[in-house]
Amino acid sequence: MPLFVLPYPAIDPVLVELGPFAIRWYALAYIVGILLAWRYMTRLVHNDRLWQATPRPSAADIDDFVLWATFGIVLGGRLGYVLIYNLPYFMEHPAEIFHVWQGGMSFHGGFLGTVVAMVVFARLRKVPMLTLFDLAGTAAPIGLFFGRIANFINGELWGRVTDVPWAMVFPGAGPLPRHPSQLYEATLEGIVLFLVMRLLSHRFAMLQKPGFIAGAFAASYGIARLIGERFRMPDEQIGFLSFGTTMGMQLSLPMIVAGAALMLWAIRRRPTPDNRAKERKA
């Protein structure tokens, strides 16, 4: 046991409550994350220096895409959690599938939901699909940061037992101090990933290599998640899997491989006039 334990700042998960109407920190975090990501993507498409002759969506395209992305994140994230992490429980309590405000979102499900939304949107609007993926990759860490902060406020997804000086005792997690793993993940998946994507887009001009930043985000998130999972307790209903891995680790490994492959393909690809024309029509 550590000599000192940081007190968990028990924050009411409900920010404002007016009769039956309540605004929860969890929902607010998603809203703020999506709005900031939208504004950031809009600024990127307005910055001609980042693109040169590379085709890109218009600001109006980004405005319309936000709604598609929101549905992809929420529906994919919730379905991913229900199907992957806690299907037996929700089969017994199907009405709670819709209780998103109580927590329970899967990043990997939200990731797949957003990919589907991007593919459909790009084909319908005739915007460059890979570039849309890249833009989403630059902005996604913003949402991830706020999502992890919401996990911390909700007192969920806490860490493993530890004796580090900054350990906390979380409500509902027993009397032992634990890693505040939500804050670790907010730092890795949010701040660090944002800076990496920013460096790729602004310092190395990788928005001019369609697909590279999307691959870099997928691979970098997978690595960040692998690190974060070393400090986070696995979901109680799943526990540890083979070789001491967790579900989060196993779902992240394919992201790392696929992301690295996409980066390699994008950096080796030599855009031609024909390729640029196809990207405009994608």
**Residue at token pair 């969920």:** 156
Q: Which of 176, 156, 138 is nearest to 5 (CA)?
A: 176
Locate 17 and state its tokens. Answer: 């409550």
Domain count, the chain: 1
Domain that holds residue 187: 24-281
39 is in an annotated binding site: no
Cα–Cα distance, 228 to 159 (Å, whole number): 9
- Which 3 state secondary structure label does DSSP give 15? strand
Is this model's pTM higher than 0.75 or not? yes
DSSP letters spanning 93-129 = -GGGGG-GGG----HHHHHHHHHHHHHHHHHHHT--H
pLDDT of 36 reads: 97
pLDDT of 97 reads: 82
**Cβ within 8 Å of residue 193, ≥6 positions away:** 140, 141, 144, 217, 220, 221, 224
Cα–Cα distance, 182 to 232 (Å, whole number): 8
Locate 190 and state its tokens. Answer: 């949010």
Please indicate, yes or no, if residue 16 is contained in any of the structural domains.
Answer: no
pLDDT of 4 reads: 63
Please indicate, yes or no, if residue 140 is contained in any of the structural domains.
Answer: yes
What's the pLDDT tens digit per position in 148-181?
Answer: 998 998 888 899 999 999 999 998 899 999 999 9
Q: Which residues of the chain have pLDDT under 70?
A: 1-4, 19-21, 101-103, 271-282
